[in-house]
Structure 1
C-alpha cells in the first residue's frame, strides 16, 4: 500500500474501535472479541478513501497508551521519524476532556517538522466539556450530526472532510482527477503542480492561524474567487 496512514490513538476504551467500525463498516483485523486482553495497540485496518476526485486505499494504525506524555515523546524521537513520515492524519479519541492531554497534543503538533492534521474526537455524550480552540487540533464531537450554525458539517462527516484535505502521497498508478470542479459551477479548471502546491500552502496557513472562524471563512472565499475568476458566494458551499 503506497500511501500514508491514519493513526487512531487513545486510552483503553476511549472509542478507537467504535470510530474505526463507523468509518470502515468493519472491525479491525486481528481483533479478538473473546479475549480478556483489552489493549488494541498494534491493530491495523484498511479504509477506502473516496470522493469525486479520487479513490485510494488508506491504512489505519491503532495505538493505545497509558501515559500520553511518554507515548508522544516516543513518536517525536528520531527513531520514530519514518513512522511519523508515514502518517497522513491522527485521530485522538477521548471520552472526557483532559487539559493536560490537550496541551501535550498541542506541543507535539507544534514541534512537528511537517504538520499532520490532528482531530480530537470526543466519543462520549455524557461528558461534553468542549476543549479550548487550538491552531493544532480540531475538536469534533463524534455523535453529532448535521451542520452547525455556520453550515459546517459535524461528527463523522466532518472527519471525512478533513481526510479529503490530507496529503496521501498519490502514485502514478492511481486514478486522480486532473479537473477540479467547484460545486454549482459549470466550468472546470486545471491546476498545475505549482498552483496546486501554492493553494495547499495557503489553506494550511489559514487552518493554523489564530483568526476567528468568520475571518477564516472570508479568506477561504477569497482563495476560491482567485481561482474561478468570478464572484463566489458563501452559499455555494452549502
Structure 2
C-alpha cells in the first residue's frame, strides 16, 4: 500500500542572486510549473514538488533563496536560531552556472572592510558544503545534497564533480534538451531525470511521522537486503557477487508472491494458495541483466567514494545506495 506522507520534510533550493534565472529554470523543469516571484525576486518564496513512487506520495515544499553573500548566508544557517530550520530539511539543492572552470571561481570573494567582492559559484559551493557538514551532519545526514550545474557547456563537468564530491555534494549537470536524454556510461540517468531520481529515493517522512502509517513500511523495511550483513562497505570484491544474488533473489521472491496472489484471486481460492514455481532470475531478458550490471557498477562507484571514511559512514552510504538501486528496479 502506498504511503501518503503527511507534513514531509522540506527542500531548500538556493543560487547566487545573480543566477536566479538558473534557479527558476531548474525548479520549473523539475516541478512542471514556474515559481512565482515576490516583488520580482525568488528570495523567500516557496514552491511545491509532487513526488509519487510505488511506495509513497508526497507534496514536498521547496523553499527558494537567493544568496548575495555566501559566507553570511552560511553563518546564518549555522547559528543556533536556524537549528529548527535545518531539522526539517530533507534536501539541500544549490543551482549554479557550470560553464566555467572551478579554478576560475573558487574563493574569489574577499572581504575588504565592509565591502565584499562579487561572490562566485565556488564561494557559494564552499559555504553550502559547510552547512552540509557542520549544520546537517555530513555523511550522517539522512538527506540529499545536490549541486546542479546549469548550462549547455559540459566542458568542466568532471572538474565540478570532483569539487562537489569533496564538499559532500552530488553534482548533476543539467544541459537541457536532448543532451540529457538516456543514461551515461555508468548506467545513470542524467539531467533533471537524475535530480528527480535522487529526490524520489529520499525519505521524506518527518521525525514526528510514523513510518508505518497507513500500513506502509519505511524505506529500510521495504527490502530484505541488508548491506551490513553483506559487508558491502568493507571492500571485499566477492561481496558484490553476494549482493547480486541477493538482488535477484529479492526480485524473484516479489514476482513469485505477486503471481501467486493474482492466480489465487483469479481462481477464487480461499484456503490454500496455488503453488508458483520461482522464476529463474538468470533466465530474465538481456535488458534486465544489463540493467542489473549497470546498477552494480553504480554500487561499486559508491563503495569507492566511501574509501577512507569511517566504517559507520561507509555502511550508511552503502545502505542508501542499495535502497536507491532497489527502488530503481
Give your verdict on TM over 0.5. yes
- Please give the alpha-carbon distance, in whole angstroms, between the structure 2 residues aligned to 1:122 and 1:150: 19
| Contact in 1 for aligned 2:187/2:291 (Cα 8 Å) | no
Cα deviation digits, residues 206-230 of structure 1 (max 9, x gap): 6xx9x9xxx99x9777556446647
Q: Does 1:23 align with 2:34?
A: no
Structure 1 unaligned spans of 5+ = 181-190
User: Among residues 117, 128, 139, which one is paired with 1:105 in the alignment?
Assistant: 128
User: Among residues 43, 67, 86, which one is paired with 1:84 in the alignment?
Assistant: 86
- Partner residue of 2:204? 168
- Please give the alpha-carbon distance, in whole angstroms, between the structure 2 residues aligned to 1:179 and 1:107: 30
TM-score by length of 1: 0.72
1:235 Cα deviation from its structure 2 partner = 2.8
TM-score by length of 2: 0.54
Instruction: Provide the aligned length of Structure 1 versus Structure 2.
Output: 212
**SS in structure 2 at match of 1:110:** helix
**SS in structure 1 at match of 2:58:** strand
Q: More deviation in 141-150 or 75-84?
A: 141-150
Which structure has the bigger radius of gyration? 2
Q: More deviation in 171-180 or 117-126?
A: 171-180
Structure 2 unaligned spans of 5+ = 1-5, 107-121, 251-280, 283-288, 296-328
Which runs of structure 2 are paired with 1:42-57 in the superposition (5 Å)?
A: 42-57=44-59
**SS in structure 2 at match of 1:82:** helix
Relative distance call for 1:24 and 1:221 in structure 2 (3 A) is: farther
Which structure features the higher share of helix residues? 2
Q: CA RMSD in A?
A: 3.7
Q: Does 1:137 align with 2:172?
A: no
| Contact in 2 for aligned 1:56/1:174 (Cα 8 Å) | no
